[in-house]
Each structure stands twice: as C-alpha cells, then as structure tokens.
Amino acid sequence: MTTAAVIGALAACGSGSGSAASGGDVKLEFAQWWAAELPDGAFDKIVADFEAQNPGITVELVTAPYASTKQQLVSGAASRTLPDVVGLDGAWVNDFSQQGAIANLSDLMKDAGYDESQLASQIQVDGSTYMIPVVNFVYPLFVNTDLLKEAGVNEVPSTRTEFVEAAKKISALGDNKKGWALPLDTSAPNGAQNDVMSWLWASGGSMLADGKPNVNTPEVKSVIDMIKGLTDADAVAPGYLTMKEQDKVEKFTTGQIGMMVDSLAHINLIKENAPDLNFEVAAIPATDGYTGKRGIPYASWGIGVADSSEHQAEAFKFVEYLMSKDVNAQLSTLANGFPGNTASKPDFSDSDPKFEEAFTIYQDGTPANEFTGLPKSEDLMRTLNEQLQAVLTGKTSVDDALKNTQDNWASVF
C-alpha cells in the first residue's frame, strides 16, 4: 500500500472503528509506524499468531511512517475518531488523554484482571495509565575508544568529572576533534531530554515535584553549569545551536567526536557506515559519589486504546498479547530494542554484543524520561533548548535561564 493510501485509510478510521466483520466477528484497527521499521512481514506474522489464538478477532494493521502516523492521530484525537488500538509516543499522551481520546488503561487492566507488576513502565496522567511502553529504545553513552586512548584516557568515564576531563583531552587533540556533541535545534527539540536532562536522571534527579515543574534547583543548575563549562572550554562540536540528532550521529560515525548520548538503535547504522570504528556503550556518567540506580533515557513504541472504540475489551486482549513474555521478547529482538515486560529477554544470538552489554545497563538502571506524559512536552523541551542557547551565547545567566524555564513550564501546566 502506498503512503498516500495508508494515510487515507487512517483518516477514514472513526469512532467504533472496530466494526463487526462477517459473522459478527470483531475487527480491530491498529494504527502504528512499527511494521515499517521491522523486517518485511515480521509484524504481520505476530498479528497472524494472535488471530490464530483468538478466533473471532481480526487485526487490521494501518501502517505509515512515524511523522504521518503522528499527524493523523493528532487529527483523530481532536475529532475522537481514533482507530481501536493506537501506537503512541509518550509526548502525545497527556494531550490525547485530556481530549478524552484514549482510554484509561488502569481501568481496562483491572477489568481484565491483568497483573501490571510485569510492566517495566507505564505512562500515567493524574495517576491513571494511558500508555504502556511495548518496546523501549534506550539512550546510553557512546564512546569512541580509539579517541579516548589517543587522548590518554584509559577508562570509559563513569562520573561527570571523568567525562568532562575526557571531553577536554579529546578536544585538545586538535584536527577538529571534539569531546562531545550537543544537539539543541528547536525545530526538533528532543536534545532537551536525551542530551541535557539525561544527565540529571542519570544521578537519580528529577525536574518535577509532585508532578509539577521543578527545574530551578541546584541539581538542574549543576547540569547546565557542566554544559556551559564544556562549551566555554571548546570541548563541544561546533554548530550545536542548530544541531539535530542525526547530525551528532554523523559526527560520531566519522570520528569527529569522542562521545555522545544516543539511541541504541543506531549501533547497526554506525557499524554499517564505519565498520572500522571502535566504540563502546556505557551508562551515562553520574555525579561524583552517586551510588544509586542510574536513570537511562529512553523512547518507546507505546500502545493505547481509543476511548471511542466499541471493542475495548478485545483491544486490550491484543495489548496483553503484545506484552506477554514470549511475544514481547520476540518483538524486542526484531526491533533491536528492550522489552516492556520485565520477564522478557531479547535473543542476542544474532546481534552485536553491544546490545547485550546495553541490556545489562538497562537492567541495572531504571528507564527515565520525565517528559513523557507531560502536557505539550515538545514545547517544554523547546523552551529549555531556547534558554540553554541563551546561556551558551552569553545572553542570559544560568540562574535567569532556569527561572525563565520554570515560569514558562508552570504556565503550561
């Protein structure tokens, strides 16, 4: 099916889209971008197995690229015409729930007698779950070990102090090499979560208090101070004010930077484009002396159920199936991600060893992304990036930037 046809099909989905098929069977429509990112036919096979185990329920996949799926779901949420089951990004959840577009999964789990303790995480609004992360894509620290050795650094940094020292030593090598890359583009502001607040979460910190913004704190200030210190020392790749995520990956792949925080999903891409590049993945360095669990930023293939669906019980049965131990492990393996079921383990036999190393980091730490579930989360990220840009260009102080961020975020909440 062409993209245009897919978008048209998704736009046609409406309230009660799980219409009865012939013979009174239940037909569920599932809008997502996942199938397009998996090997050909892989997700169709998973769906077919579900249908075989659940006679009377069929699932129609409505697949489009991520951006197209987002566009159509935003429109469907506003008009309450979402398909029965929807793939979700955590950044959409608050707005969709406030619009009454997606169902309260806490209620559906209770009705189904579902044991939620097996879930690695849940995305909640006002204490109720509206999205379940099915597959998690974590963002560890990538380290070019050749550049580290060339700079005289013998160990992968584990603390912020070690990280700053390593970044400066790599930058001192010259030849346009820099220690770190920081994407602060405001049109795609996810650098705020992956490259800025990740340092806070790595040390068990939080940008919220009782669910409300709490960014004007010594803990957040220490992160901004570290970043400013690195830019002042010329240890950050140039162009960071307009840099996007793909730009830092390119710089790492070509050996221009020594370290970056990035999605584990890019391991194969880096290896394909730079087969001779020696690199490792590690936990994001924490504050000196920190001994608690390391927070590790992540993005998810999340799932939800339309509030307007006439077949919510059957829709949740499909959610249960995707979250079951074996199926969740299979899906995670196919996606090169980590399972949302705590009992599942991906099959690493055909994967790069770095995936299994990262899985250990994931198990030893805790998934952390406080932007998920927040209202207008992309706008919150954009504000943080804008204020950080003002700090790094000398237009404002760190203290004023944090106050401005706090005030702006509070107005959104």
Mean pLDDT of 333-351: 88
* Predicted local confidence at residue 67, as pLDDT: 82
* Predicted local confidence at residue 392, as pLDDT: 96
* Predicted local confidence at residue 2, as pLDDT: 33
- The domain ranges of the chain are 3-137+299-360, 141-296+376-412
Does residue 134 have a pLDDT over 50? yes
Does residue 356 have a pLDDT over 90? no
Distance (Å, whole) CA 362 – CA 297: 10
Does residue 15 have a pLDDT over 80? no
For the stretch 235-288, pLDDT in tens is 999 999 999 888 999 999 999 999 999 988 788 889 889 999 999 999 999 999
The burial of 22, by beta-carbon neighbours within 10 Å (0-12 exposed, 13-18 middle, 19 or more buried), is given as: exposed
Q: What share of the chain is helix, strand, coil (3-state, %, to 5)?
A: 45, 20, 35
Distance (Å, whole) CA 289 – CA 352: 32
The burial of 351, by beta-carbon neighbours within 10 Å (0-12 exposed, 13-18 middle, 19 or more buried), is given as: middle
What do you get for the CA distance between the two ends of the chain, in Å?
A: 41
Does residue 17 have a pLDDT over 50? no
For the stretch 371-408, pLDDT in tens is 988 888 889 999 999 999 999 999 999 999 999 999 99
Who wins on pLDDT, 266 or 10? Answer: 266
Pick the CATH number of 3-137+299-360 from 3.40.190.10, 1.20.1440.230, 3.40.50.620, 3.40.630.190: 3.40.190.10
- How large a percentage of the chain has pLDDT more than 70? 94
CB of 218 closer than 8 Å to CB of 402: no
Q: Do domains 3-137+299-360 and 141-296+376-412 have the same CATH topology?
A: yes
* Predicted local confidence at residue 24, as pLDDT: 56
Distance (Å, whole) CA 336 – CA 347: 10
Mean pLDDT of 319-347: 93
Closest CA to 47 of 317, 404, 298: 317
CB of 103 closer than 8 Å to CB of 304: yes
Stated pTM of the model: 0.79
Mean pLDDT of 313-325: 97
**CATH level 3 topology of 141-296+376-412:** D-Maltodextrin-Binding Protein; domain 2 (3.40.190)
- How large a percentage of the chain has pLDDT more than 90? 72
Does residue 7 have a pLDDT over 80? no
